[in-house]
Structure 1
Amino acid sequence: MSRWRAVNARASPISLRRRCEPAPEPIRQHAVEAAIQRRTSPMRLAVLILSLALAAHGAPAGAQVPGNDLPDIGNPASTTLSISEEYRIGLAILRELRQAGRIVEDPEVNEYLQSLGLRLASEAHEGGYRFTFFAVKDGAINAFALPGGFIGVHAGLVTATRSEGELAGVLAHEIAHVTQRHIARSLQQAGRSNLAAAAAILAAVLIGATTGMPGDAMMGTISAAQGLAAQQQINFTRANETEADRVGVGVLAAAGFDPQAMPDFFQTMQQRAGSTGRNIPELLRTHPVTTERIAETRDRASRMAAEPRADSASYGLIRKRLHLQSLPPETRFRELYAGAASADRPASDADVYGRALALARAGDFEPAIGLLTGLRDRRPELTLYHAALGQVQLEAGRITAARATLERALRLFPRSVPVTMRYAETLLRTGDAKRAHTVLLDLFNNVPPTPEQARFTAVAANAAGDVADAYYYLSEYHVMNGDLPLALDQLRMAQAVPGINSVQRERFDARIRELQEYLPKGRRAREVPGTATREPEGTARR
């Protein structure tokens, strides 16, 4: 089975599994899932982070790491992780999480979080980081920052917040952990003798935060690495948390949110934990909050001038969307949100949206279409309503109506990522793969693509019979995930497709030459993830 087929066997968030085959021969899905599980075991992730941390501290630019030999780590007292080294480590961890199926691959959710996150990051006045915000498939109330500007928020945290300001407060706090370089500084402070244990502890903490490892198992991993003393060196210290609060609350206010939302949410989490401490949210385990810390943050927020704005309409809709996605299949979706309205409180638009999506999950498409049509007609400026209506019409088999809905939406919102993705899915259902490929290519070339966009573009290209281009787009998927050797493999497969024209061949050749420049000498065939000396600038345009 080729790597192209293996990657595309993953379940798509836009329900392509039974509608278009990404490869001409059957895929052994269970074999792919087993391979993914092998790739992403906690031990493998721990080893990955450990090796990356060691390499980042000791390997000179372009240094080779033959076999499993570790490089001389040098003297960390006089060096620290560069931003590009942080980026490679964070990207490698994110790739592992994505391959494990832990990332929410939903274009509506991704667009909202990235938009909100970048709005906040722009106020941090730190231009060295390329921030990426993503949701994790986990009901725990938690968030975390990876090295290099990758910030994950658990679905459970989004649904637990009571306002957009509270969600923004958590993101602002994590942004501050990145811009203040707390992870890099912690690794540096660990010193040469403790660097390996510190990196292993960091791995254990991140595994626990992102894969649901029980607390006792995570602590066992930490203890095996070195013990409590080293744990205290790597965990975010009280000084780190205070600094992240100070910087984060300023970012929150500058972005137009109520700065009191940050201490409000911390206080709610503290109250939820209760006096016994048995119900401590994961956020408090990874970011300990004290009454003193809440008071300090509240006092700091009270001295900031801000004119808070109301929650965006998208915030409530995304909360409902994530809540629905987190529910098990046996949920009684027909009854969900049915009692949201009362005599004293009419149903909000978010309640109606949630109700419509719940009915669609239950197979009651006609009432769902009616509710979404009403929402769209009342608030036509919201892309979420257009995309949801088109998606439900498609699920209901009303393909002509879905196509008309989404074509209208694209006229209103050219190159909207969620609308274009839903439209392309509809085109594939109608057998118009060429058109689907065309619209996705236009999006790919004009809007910074996500890995899922690149993967879906490859699916559409393959369905349209453009096999060489399918390999090309999948290579870009791997570039975005930081796996340059696998990207090169895909480009070489593209070169080998019979009948490619001279323009395609030159494009593939040029991209291969470009990517090879980013690999250390001697690693042109396969690379330890994350050890490239620099990152390609974005993705190639066709």
Structure 2
Amino acid sequence: MTIRGKCASWLLVGALLPTVATASLPGDYRLPALGGGYSSYANQQEIRLGRAWARRFRHYVTEWQDPITQRYIEQLVARLLPYAQVEGIRPLVLLVEDDQLNAFAVPGGVIGVNGGLFLEAPDQDMLASVLAHELGHLAQHHYARQQDQADREMLPTLAGLLAGVVMAARGSGDAGIATMAGSQALFIGRQLAYSRQYEQEADRVGLTALAKAGMDPQAMPRMFDMLLRQSSLQGDTPPEFLMTHPLTASRVSDTRLRAAQYPVVTISRSLEYDMVRARAMLHFFPDDPALLRTKLQQDKALPDALRYLDALLLARQHRTQEALQQLDALAHQHDALLLIHASAADIALQANQPTEAFNRARLILRRVPDYTPAQLTAIRADLRFDANDAYQRAIQLTQQQPENADAWQLLAQAAHASGHEDISQRAMIEYRQLTGDLRGALALYDRLERAAKDRHDEAALDTLSAIKARLDDYVRDDMDAF
């Protein structure tokens, strides 16, 4: 969709249709109990299957590479997680390079977020309501329960889910992927009633998580209202989220009634969210900033978020010093918002000012040593003038975040630049397996093993043996999941 088409939809959604009326609560209304937890799939097995799914997903779909937005979503998930009844998972957030509204959850804690979710959710709590809903699916072990109900049909459905998300992200059918979708269609046809039940269960868990995390439970019915208005406007092409998350009248009513049970809270608008949203809107629709500004103003974004948007626009116009001055002024007013400082460091790096970028990133890391956007910027800047320091920083980051594919790729580059060629090749094995190229990872392993045998390097062979065992496990997980 073009920027004007998308923004026309934005403006119409806000102006044309009335809000769905609030249902009254009958005197004998009883909140149905949540579905019980199921243990047929242990958490570790769910994690393995989920990671296999994530590898395959990364192989087929372009991720939205924005460490600042990634960090924001990860922190929002971490805020909700203690209250979402989810135990024993390691969340893995995937940002999808797609301007359509969608999100999904996969067993083991894989949470996918389309960039379009930022474009459509006017405030932080509405976006958080979608994340809370997805955590609800994980908390209720819906995939495991489908396995109990449908026996052997659950695992093919993981392939079907992948097919659906991939085809949606690509915007067109893919012959190789489309063949995987048949199992999903068959399964959904048999399990539609369960799907609706699961959606309501996920809503209820999500409402509780929102309330306990200090957010507004009413954000969820507000989000549903917006989705219904969009669906009405878009006719035969409703938001992608509704394709996989059926929104019925009973579901909307149930959510509205349950949200009304919580105390009314006054939530301050999040400047951080408004800034991240401005960042996302500019990324996906860079050609008409005036229209983006109109949309942000319509949604009551805070004025300093518009100033942040202006700074990003200055950077795109190669007016680097003006952009940095604007961001420094914002940082002076909102020093605790690290995304402002990180944006300035990133802009300096993009403008080929590695020393400036490194110094700015280092100041952030003195305050918050594990702030990933600054860690990545520092490594990328360091590669321009101090490969050894970049190498040490990249090792530290991969130890902290072993599932961060960007960190492994940077380690491969830094190790090569600093003369640690074996480490560079091993890092590339990790990068390839994380991004779904298991065949490439195994080919690289074979090459390293032959070289180690030729030089009779027993220590290297021992290390490679452990790597091979993990790769074999990943191949088995991939076969189990697909």
User: When the two structures are superposed, what TM-score results if normalisation uses the length of structure 1?
Assistant: 0.71
Q: Does the C-alpha gap of structure 1 residues 116 and 224 become closer, same or farther in structure 2, counting only changes over 3 Å?
A: closer
Q: Does the alignment pair 1:428 with 2:428? A: no
Q: Does the alignment pair 1:363 with 2:321? A: no
- What is aligned with 2:108? 148
SS in 2 for 1:527: helix
- What is aligned with 2:362? 407
- What is aligned with 2:249? 291
Give 2:164's aligned amino acid. V
Q: Does the alignment pair 1:253 with 2:207? A: no
> Once the 2 structures are TM-superposed, how far is the Cα of residue 322 of structure 1 from its aligned partner?
1.8
2:86 and 2:135 in contact (8 A); partners too: no
Question: Matches of 2:155 and 2:83 in 1, distance apart?
Answer: 35
2:358 and 2:377 in contact (8 A); partners too: no
> Once the 2 structures are TM-superposed, how far is the Cα of residue 210 of structure 1 from its aligned partner?
4.0
Give a deviation string over 1:332-381, Cα, whole Å, max 9, x none.
56x57677899xx8962222222211221232323222211211222222
- What is aligned with 1:212? 171
Give 2:397's aligned amino acid. L
Query: Bigger CA drift: 240-249 or 464-473?
Result: 464-473
- Which has more helix, going by share of residues? 2
Q: Equivalent of 1:353, from 290, 308, 317?
A: 308
Q: Does the C-alpha gap of structure 1 residues 212 and 92 become closer, same or farther in structure 2, counting only changes over 3 Å?
A: farther
- What is aligned with 1:419? 374
Give 1:240's aligned amino acid. Y
> Once the 2 structures are TM-superposed, how far is the Cα of residue 165 of structure 1 from its aligned partner?
0.9
| TM alignment of 1:53-202, pairs within 5 A | 80-192=40-152, 201-202=160-161
2:133 and 2:202 in contact (8 A); partners too: yes
- Matched residue count: 442
Give 1:437's aligned amino acid. Y
Question: Matches of 1:235 and 1:88 in 2, distance apart?
Answer: 28
Give a deviation string over 1:470-519, Cα, whole Å, max 9, x none.
12222333565577776565456556668x999x973x444434345557
Q: Does the alignment pair 1:385 with 2:340? A: yes
1:272 and 1:279 in contact (8 A); partners too: no
Give a deviation string over 1:424-482, Cα, whole Å, max 9, x none.
222223x3222221222233334555121122121122122221111222233356557
- What is aligned with 2:277? 319
SS in 2 for 1:119: helix
1:469 and 1:494 in contact (8 A); partners too: no
SS in 2 for 1:317: helix
Q: What is the RMSD of the two structures over their aligned residues, measured on CA atoms?
A: 3.9
Q: Does the alignment pair 1:474 with 2:474? A: no
Q: Does the C-alpha gap of structure 1 residues 269 and 389 become closer, same or farther in structure 2, counting only changes over 3 Å?
A: same
Give 2:171's aligned amino acid. G
2:324 and 2:344 in contact (8 A); partners too: yes
- What is aligned with 2:404? 450
Give 1:255's aligned amino acid. A
Question: Matches of 1:532 and 1:442 in 2, distance apart?
Answer: 32
1:202 and 1:234 in contact (8 A); partners too: no
Question: Matches of 2:131 and 2:417 in 1, distance apart?
Answer: 39
Q: Does the C-alpha gap of structure 1 residues 92 and 150 become closer, same or farther in structure 2, counting only changes over 3 Å?
A: same
Unaligned runs of 5+ in 2: 1-37
SS in 2 for 1:530: helix
SS in 2 for 1:122: helix
Query: Bigger CA drift: 352-361 or 475-484?
Result: 475-484
Question: Matches of 1:423 and 1:286 in 2, distance apart?
Answer: 40
Give a deviation string over 1:368-410, Cα, whole Å, max 9, x none.
2221121122222222111211222233344443333233223
Give 1:527's aligned amino acid. V
Question: Matches of 2:186 and 2:307 in 1, distance apart?
Answer: 50
Question: Matches of 1:314 and 1:432 in 2, distance apart?
Answer: 33
Give a deviation string over 1:7-63, Cα, whole Å, max 9, x none.
xxxxxxxxxxxxxxxxxxxxxxxxxxxxxxxxxxxxxxxxxxxxxxxxxxxxxxxxx
Q: Does the C-alpha gap of structure 1 residues 259 and 199 become closer, same or farther in structure 2, counting only changes over 3 Å?
A: closer
Q: Does the alignment pair 1:269 with 2:221? A: no
Q: Percent identity?
A: 31
Question: Matches of 1:214 and 1:505 in 2, distance apart?
Answer: 49
Q: Does the C-alpha gap of structure 1 residues 470 and 195 become closer, same or farther in structure 2, counting only changes over 3 Å?
A: closer
1:165 and 1:261 in contact (8 A); partners too: yes
SS in 1 for 2:478: coil
- What is aligned with 1:28? none
- What is aligned with 1:55? none
SS in 2 for 1:258: coil
> Once the 2 structures are TM-superposed, how far is the Cα of residue 125 of structure 1 from its aligned partner?
3.2
2:101 and 2:240 in contact (8 A); partners too: yes
Q: Does the C-alpha gap of structure 1 residues 223 and 336 become closer, same or farther in structure 2, counting only changes over 3 Å?
A: closer
Q: Does the C-alpha gap of structure 1 residues 277 and 496 become closer, same or farther in structure 2, counting only changes over 3 Å?
A: same
> Once the 2 structures are TM-superposed, how far is the Cα of residue 240 of structure 1 from its aligned partner?
0.8
Give 2:382's aligned amino acid. L
- What is aligned with 2:28? none
Question: Matches of 2:68 and 2:139 in 1, distance apart?
Answer: 27
Give a deviation string over 1:71-114, Cα, whole Å, max 9, x none.
xxxxxxx9954433333332223222322342122211211111
Q: Does the C-alpha gap of structure 1 residues 142 and 226 become closer, same or farther in structure 2, counting only changes over 3 Å?
A: closer
- What is aligned with 1:3? none
1:338 and 1:355 in contact (8 A); partners too: no
1:360 and 1:368 in contact (8 A); partners too: yes
Q: Does the C-alpha gap of structure 1 residues 249 and 363 become closer, same or farther in structure 2, counting only changes over 3 Å?
A: same
2:311 and 2:327 in contact (8 A); partners too: yes
User: When the two structures are superposed, what TM-score results if normalisation uses the length of structure 2?
Assistant: 0.79
- What is aligned with 1:538? none
> Once the 2 structures are TM-superposed, how far is the Cα of residue 296 of structure 1 from its aligned partner?
1.2
Unaligned runs of 5+ in 1: 1-77, 534-542
- What is aligned with 2:7? none
Question: Matches of 1:135 and 1:157 in 2, distance apart?
Answer: 10
Question: Matches of 1:92 and 1:448 in 2, distance apart?
Answer: 15
2:56 and 2:435 in contact (8 A); partners too: no
SS in 2 for 1:144: strand
